[in-house]
Amino acid sequence: MKTVKAFKPVIKQEEYVKLILYPYTLFVAKLEFKRLFLKPKVLLCAGLLDMCRSSVLFINSIPEITDIEVDEESIIPPTVPDSDVRDIIEYEVMRYGIARINTWWAPEIEFLEMMRVHKIFYVTEEGGRRYIVDTLTGDKKRLEMKFKA
C-alpha cells in the first residue's frame, strides 16, 4: 500500500472492481513581463502536466486534493521522466504568457507550487460489461477488448 495525493472525487462509487490512478503534475506559476516605460505586468497561471502524454492543460481553478492509500498496481506509471517535467512546463507556460501579453522581453517565470497528483478512475461492472468512470466529471465509458483476427 502506498499513500499518494489525488483529486478529491466528486462522484463517489460504492461498488467498484478496481481503482485506477492517472498521474499529473499540478503547477502554479507567476510570470512577470517587463514593459517599456510601464510597470511590469504580472500573470498568474495554473495547470496540469499529463505525465503519460506530455501535454499541458491550463485550468481556471484547482480541485481539492486529498491523500489516499492504494495498491502500487493501481497507479499508472508516468512516461515523462522527472528530469524533463520542469522544462516541459516552463516551455508551455512561456508560450501561454507570450500569447496573452505583447512585449519585447521574455517573462521571468517563478513556480509557486509544483506537485504530483493523481486523477481517480473507477472500474465498475454492470450487466457483465465493464465501464470506467471519471470521478471528477462522472463520464462513463465502456471498456472493450478489441482483437484482430
Residue 90 identity (one-letter amino acid) = E
- Percentage helix, strand, coil for the chain under 3-state DSSP, each rounded to 5: 15, 50, 35
Find which of 24-28, 105-109, 132-136, 144-148 is predicted with most confidence, using mean pLDDT.
24-28
Q: Cβ distance 134 to 43 under 8 Å?
A: no
Contacts of 61 by beta carbon, 8 Å cutoff, 6+ apart? 46
Q: Cβ distance 14 to 124 under 8 Å?
A: no
pLDDT digit string (tens) for 92-116? 999 999 999 988 888 999 999 999 9
pLDDT digit string (tens) for 5-52? 999 988 887 788 888 999 999 999 999 999 888 899 999 999 999 999
Sign of CA dihedral 92, 79, 148, 139: negative
Q: Which residue has the cell 499540478?
A: 26
Total count of residues recorded for the chain:
149
